[in-house]
Chain A
């Protein structure tokens, strides 16, 4: 291997170790908890691929001198180092031949990129030498019959000075080595590639705050809540779970009705639950949330909603832990989803609840400044898809000042108000105090 190639190889290995190292560091330090959900394969995949990258890097480091079954190891019979071929002397233009073939011949012309010594070409005075014999196991076929351009130009036409077959130039660009972008580029190009590979990752790894600023949370939809959302309702809806199986089919029905444009609504036949869902999956809640409070632009659902389970104070007590003072301890997403479920609202209205969340100013229906908004970030697959789930907190008087993003414990009485097209769950605060961040800032 030439010096350049060795260096590129070592740099490639370094990049793999850098990527692998960052993945492993975030996994081992536990900081990954702020980026990926604990369930599913996302976090283990980071560990596995971190190890994989390091192993791949080390493997390539240790086998650097080994013979490659492709044609890495062959030498072409000439030095790859200092090439001083001088195509200027050829007196012909390399560029004009290749207009149509659709691939980039620039490497031919920019010999700064090319580690091969082309000198041998010139040394062969005769025009008809065959380069193939020099290439060892690597089959450089120089016949580019499919390129769409003609390589078989008559050397005699070429100013008479070099007369070598230019076909082999192209072959060098693609000589079956698995040449990556680092191998094919010139040094400025290589440095750019290395920077792109290393800089954003290192910068991010070194100076990520592991949490979003209020700016990102607003951009991700803080002031645009949709309480009738059902996407994560099975996880956060308070509907009582034992009734799930009986209502399984209603989900499909309800979805169907909700999804149709108004003109086409046909109350779907109450399908029979063909296969009960696995225990513990609160499907019915999704249907309930969807149908009980008809949101805008969804037609009033068919009578199907009557078949859904009811919700009682006993159900609430059975499901939700209570504090010493008897407050129901609920997460913000759970409160959020009650906005779509009238049965739960009936029970929860007037109950004392307690939750821990982050606080930001309220910008919706807050002309008198009595409100603040509390939120939690909910992550589906990675922190990039995190969305804030939020509810307003009403103080009944001028809201106290909190630094943006402060973690607070809110205690208050639940209430529901129709505002605009939505039923908004509102905590009428009795006590709001600063608290420490929970272990998992993100909810998954």
Chain B
């Protein structure tokens, strides 16, 4: 145990370093999980398997991809390396984007943390399930937005959306299929394992680099900007939603914990909190950089703007709708 006396005195820079480390400690384990997965996918998953499993109809496949988070629950740090690899393995881009956006929300861990934070957990049963307003609204809006974005992405070619290196690998994988030549040939298990671990190492470093940039910026915002300033706009319907989404960008919270931050903001409407909880897991400073490891910069910026507008417009009506449906006279 190191005694406080040995540590540097607190300072503004110390605040940033402290916030940086704490987000790294929270996020790095999940990045590692995601990259180990991605390495294993790279080495062991036959390229054609995804084609066989997913529906041929791409719209149907996109709709299904939105639910994958229920089966493979990941938070937003872990999902980026995984989809990066899945796309290279032939997962249709629209499905990948939908999975990427929905998995950090449409996921049992996040559902439980939201229920807990908003006190919707206790006394929950099938009869009163409709009363879990925030949880229902969050998961359903997250799914809807992810599917909408996925369907929009469907209209683009991978080369228009993905980074060059990733798009190249897709082209290569397709060509490999055409040749009926499997990428990782009948290699020994050991050889595949070596390949998987090398992929994991590279994916971890790639993802961690973007993560580190994002976390540096976010920890500066997190500690250097007075967050009470937000309360000035809390009562304004027009400003509350965008300002909480702005806070979500700045704070870069993990989707498993952000509900606990949103719940105490009593000054804000439920709609604004919903926007915070749906937008945050899909876009924030660290994700802005992490997405750049997969997508072209203009696409990442389009995600930022598009999600901001889409969720900003939908959160109000969506919250009203869910509240309306849940209230039994």
Contacts and interface: CB of A to CB of B under 8 A. Distances in A.
B225 interface: yes
Interface in B34-57: 36, 39, 42-43
B164 interface: yes
A174 B218 CA distance: 33
Contact of A23 (B28, B123, B131, B260): B28
Contacts of B212: 196-197, 200-201
B224 interface: yes
Interface stretch (A117-125, A176-184, A312-320): A176-184
B172 A141 contact: yes
Contacts of A216: 12, 15, 18-19, 223-224
Contact of A35 (B13, B21, B164): B21
Given A281-B122, A283-B122, A56 B204 contact: yes
B306 to A, nearest CB: 18
Interface string B1-30: 110100111111111011111111110111
Contacts of B21: 26, 35, 204-205, 208, 383
B36 A52 contact: yes
Contacts of B167: 101-103, 147
Contacts of B122: 248, 251-252, 277, 281, 283
Contacts of A180: 201-203, 205-206
A267 to B, nearest CB: 10
A251 B123 CA distance: 8
B183 A176 contact: yes
Contact of A196 (B131, B213, B218): B213
A208 B165 contact: no
A69 B18 contact: no
| Interface of B (DSSP majority class) | helix
Contacts of B205: 12, 15-16, 180-182, 193, 197
Interface string A349-371: 00000000000000000000000
* Size bracket, chain A contacts: 35 or more
A382 B123 contact: no
Contacts of B2: 29-31
A276 B124 CA distance: 9
A45 B29 contact: yes
Given A146-B157, A207-B14, A218-B226, A231 B195 contact: no
Contacts of A49: 28-29, 32-33
B197 A102 contact: no
Most buried by B among A13, A196, A234, A275: A196
Given A139-B175, A219-B227, A57 B192 contact: no
Contacts of B158: 146
B162 interface: yes
A304 interface: no
Interface in B83-107: none
Contacts of B124: 274-275
Interface string A223-259: 1101011111010000000000000110110011001
B261 interface: yes
Given A15-B205, A46-B29, A69-B195, A274 B123 contact: yes
A437 B293 CA distance: 43
A197 B208 contact: yes
B270 to A, nearest CB: 5
A405 interface: yes
Contacts of A383: 18-19, 21-22
B120 interface: yes
Given A173-B164, A180-B206, A146 B159 contact: yes
Contacts of B58: none
A80 interface: no
A15 to B, nearest CB: 6
A216 B159 CA distance: 44
Interface stretch (A59-67, A83-91, A391-399, A423-431): A59-67
A377 B181 CA distance: 59
A330 B163 CA distance: 56
Interface in B154-185: 157-165, 167-172, 174-176, 178-179, 181, 183-185
B28 A255 contact: no
A105 B150 CA distance: 27
B195 A68 contact: yes
Residue of B25, B43, B170, B208 most packed against chain A (CB within 10 A): B25
Contacts of A251: 119, 122-123
Given A30-B1, A46-B29, A383-B18, A207 B8 contact: yes
B275 interface: no
B191 A68 contact: yes
- Identify the 9 closest CB pairs spanning chains A and B, nearest first: A103-B164, A180-B202, A141-B175, A174-B168, A69-B187, A69-B191, A381-B257, A104-B164, A213-B10
14 contacts: A12-B202, A19-B204, A35-B18, A68-B198, A141-B175, A144-B168, A170-B168, A204-B18, A209-B17, A212-B223, A213-B11, A259-B133, A268-B327, A381-B254
Interface of B: 1-2, 4, 7-15, 17-26, 28-30, 32-33, 36, 39, 42-43, 117-120, 122-125, 127-128, 131, 133, 157-165, 167-172, 174-176, 178-179, 181, 183-185, 187-188, 190-192, 194-195, 197-206, 208-209, 212-213, 215-216, 218-219, 222-228, 231, 235, 251, 253-254, 256-257, 260-261, 263-264, 266-267, 269-270, 293, 296, 323, 327-329
Given A63-B197, A72-B198, 8 more contacts: A70-B43, A103-B165, A146-B158, A181-B209, A196-B213, A209-B17, A212-B18, A219-B225
